[in-house]
Amino acid sequence: MVKVHLWSSARSVLDGAESLELEAKNARELLQRLGAEYPALQPQIEKGVAVSIDGIIHNNPSFQPIDDDSEIFLLPRMAGG
């Protein structure tokens, strides 16, 4: 199980909890499970999110590996500059 932290305004789907736990071996699997278990998050995931794994932000999350003790943050997708 990995612990996933969400940015504040995404936490409404968790009744205010800061994080949740689920099984995922990579970022893609993480997003698929999040969308399936928390349908309210799916529109945001489809719109685009970034996933931070151990402090490295992946703006195009895909098959980046996740360990059980990885620090995972879901962030709004970043653009521009």
Partner 1 sequence: MNKIDDISGTEYKYVGTRPVRPDGVDKVTGKAQFGADLYAPGMLFAKILRSPHAHARILSVNTDKAEALDGVKAVLTYADLELGDGGHDLEDDMNHVLENVMARGKALYDGHAVAAVAANSASIAKRALKLIDVEYEVLPHVTDIEKAIAPDAPIIHEDMYTQDMDPKPEKPSNVARRMEIGHGDIEAGFEKADFIFERRFRTEAAHQGYIEPHACLANYRSDGHAEIWCCTQGHFMVRSACAALLGMDLSKLRVTASEIGGGFGGKTTVFIEPVALALSRKCGRPVKLVMDRDEVFRASGPTPSSVIDVKIGANKEGVITAGFAELWFQGGAFPGSVIDLGAMCSFACYNLENVKAIGWDVVVNRPKSAAYRAPGAPMAAFAVESALDDLADRIGIDPIDFRLKNAAEEGTIASFGPKFRRIGLKETLEAAKASDHYNSQLGPNQGRGVASGFWFNFGGTTSASIKIELDGTAVVTVGTPDIGGSRASMCQMAAETLGIPYEDVRCIVADTSSLPYSATTEGSRTTHSSGMATVYAAQNAIGVMCSRAAMIWGIPEDAVDWKDGHARPSGANAGDFEPMSLAEIAKKAHETGGPIAGHCEFEAGKVGQSFGTHIADAEIDPETGFTKIVRYTVIQDAGRAIHPSYVEGQYQGGAVQGIGWALNEEYIYGEDGRLQNAGFLDYRMPVCSDVPMIETEIVEVPNTGHPFGVRGVGETPIAPPLGAIGNALSHAIGRRMDTIPMSPPRVLEAVNGG
Where does this chain bind partner 1 (CB under 8 A)?
5, 7-9, 12, 18, 48, 52, 54-60, 62, 64, 71, 73, 75-81
29-60 in b/e form (b: 16+ CB < 10 A) is ebbebbbeebeebeebbeeebbbbbeeeeeee
Q: How far is the CB of 47 from partner 1 (least distance, A)?
A: 9
Residue placing its CB nearer to partner 1 in the complex, 32 or 60: 60
Q: How far is the CB of 64 from partner 1 (least distance, A)?
A: 7
